[in-house]
Amino acid sequence: MMLEIDRLTAGYGRVRVLHEVSLDVGEGEIVALVGPNGAGKSTLLRAVTAMIPDRSGTLVLAGRSLIGASVEAVAAAGVAHVPEGRRLFPGLTVRDNLRLGGWLGRNKDLAPVLEMFPVLGDRLSQVAGSLSGGEQQMCAIARALMSRPKLLLIDELSLGLAPLLVDEILARLGGIAAAGTGILLVEQDAGAALEVAHRGYVLELGEVVLAGTTAELAADPRMRSAYLGGEWEADAASEPGGT
């Protein structure tokens, strides 16, 4: 396993947000983490990258424990985090943002990420703050990939983006995973996330309430009624024998 989380508890000060969460991500695997607002999805990602220093349990990346490691050390261990709100460096150019992504490994080779997101190639000299929402999200993912991570964490990829654009960006994740990177994808839009993921976890009030392969989750009645709603009902209806 690339990432193994076992009974992880984390929170802010005395407020516990995550209660003994167990979860794992394999090499080259896309894992979706879905659930309602405030379930602790973002907190889980922040706990992995030590942005919340207050955490306990088991957190192992490629055989190495990350409990007690600093944010910088987690990055050095091979975790790239596309945080909530993207957090690009707004006053710097797209080129500088990408170079900062490759800061640790001194990676200046932009070609692979520009091949994945060609639109960024036309924007290299533009400051990141002037990009459109979709371009910013692509830039944030490209910046994360510049570190050639073992594990990629993406928080709310679809937030504020048009559905077509979300599909376009999600479609790139398969290629990233195929190169061996494990991806943990936090999404509000459960339907979109499960379309690209191999497995998924449902988080509610800081606890994993449901886990399984994408097909298992899609078939689960609780999942269908709570998170997938009309979209998947419609898909099911269009299949032969569906109702």
Find the shortest distance in angstroms from Cβ 65 to another protein: 18
Which is closer to another protein, CB of 103 or CB of 215?
A: 103
Which is closer to another protein, CB of 52 or CB of 217?
A: 52
Find the shortest distance in angstroms from Cβ 75 to another protein: 4
Which is closer to another protein, CB of 123 or CB of 199?
A: 123
Interface with another protein (CB under 8 A): 49, 51, 70-72, 75-76, 80-81, 83, 87-92, 96, 99-101, 103-104, 106, 129, 143, 147
Find the shortest distance in angstroms from Cβ 97 to another protein: 8
Which is closer to another protein, CB of 35 or CB of 40?
A: 40
Which is closer to another protein, CB of 49 or CB of 181?
A: 49
Find the shortest distance in angstroms from Cβ 90 to another protein: 5
Three-state SS annotation for the chain: CCEEEEEEEEEECCEEEEEEEEEEECCCCEEEEECCCCCCHHHHHHHHCCCCCCEEEEEEECCEECCCCCHHHHHHHCEEEECCCCCCCCCCEHHHHHHHHCCCCCCCCCHHHHHHCHHHHCCCCCEHHHCCHHHHHHHHHHHHHCCCCCEEEEECCCCCCCHHHHHHHHHHHHHHHHCCCEEEEEECCHHHHHHHCCEEEEEECCEEEEEEEHHHHHHCHHHHHHHHHHHHHHHHHHCCCCC
Find the shortest distance in angstroms from Cβ 57 to another protein: 21
